[in-house]
């Protein structure tokens, strides 16, 4: 009886460790919801929204989730570290031209997905990442999650 209790306790502990780790990262549903919230913010006040996205304010930074946008010239207009740099020229760690694909699939009023390889924040090894992408006004905006 005691041995069974010990086994169940260890299994419960290991299950909670797995859950805690998963909670460190945003989910697909949370990423999509953040993008939808970002669209509303851009429509309400584009300049203020882009500033909030870049600074991670107003609920636009949650663990590894954050929106980023690019303008009609292909440069980042909102991103924690890349504002002013080219989104269109961005390639993933495997050489995939992800910026070109992000712009190609972005359509006003719909959300598309782009998959690529990118390191998690603070890490160097690339892992699978998926971004939800849409177009709002003259902005191409996205929020991504790691698989």
Residue 8 within a domain: no
State yes or no: pLDDT of 10 exceeds 70: no
Burial of 112 (0-12, 13-18, 19+ CB in 10 A): middle
Structurally, how many domains does the chain consist of?
1
User: Is 5 a domain residue?
Assistant: no
Q: Which two tokens stand for residue 26?
A: 């945003």
Q: Are 60 and 38 in contact (CB under 8 A)?
A: yes
Residues spanned by the domain of 112: 26-146
Residue 3 lies in a domain: no
Query: Can you tell me the mean pLDDT for 36-43?
Result: 98
Establish if 10 belongs to a structural domain.
no
Within a domain: 12: no
Kind of pairing between the strands at 67-70 and 139-146: antiparallel
Give domain status of residue 138, yes or no: yes
Structure confidence by residue, pLDDT tens digits, 52-91: 999 999 999 999 999 999 999 999 999 999 999 999 999 9
Instruction: Assess if residue 1 is contained within a domain.
Output: no
- CATH number for the domain spanning 31: value is 3.30.450.20
Strand partners, 141: 69, 134
Q: How confident is the model at residue 12 (pLDDT cuts 50, 70, 90)?
A: very low
Which range is least confidently modeled, 8-12, 75-79, 86-90, 126-130?
8-12
Q: Which pTM was predicted?
A: 0.83
Does residue 13 fall inside a structural domain?
no
């Amino acid at each position: 009886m005691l041995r069974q209790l010990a086994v169940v306790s260890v299994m419960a502990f290991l299950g909670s460790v797995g859950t805690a780790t998963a909670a460190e990262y945003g989910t697909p549903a949370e990423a999509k919801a953040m993008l939808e919230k970002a669209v509303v913010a851009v429509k309400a006040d584009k300049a203020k929204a882009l500033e909030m996205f870049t600074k991670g304010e107003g609920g636009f930074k949650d663990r590894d989730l954050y929106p980023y946008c690019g303008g009609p010239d292909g440069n980042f207009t909102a991103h924690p570290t890349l504002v002013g740099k080219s989104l269109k020229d961005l390639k993933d760690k495997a050489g995939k031209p992800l910026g070109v694909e992000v712009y190609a699939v972005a359509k006003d009023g719909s959300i598309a997905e782009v998959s690529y390889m990118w390191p998690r924040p603070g890490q160097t090894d690339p892992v699978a990442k998926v971004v939800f992408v849409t177009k709002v006004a003259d902005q191409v905006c996205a929020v991504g999650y790691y698989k």
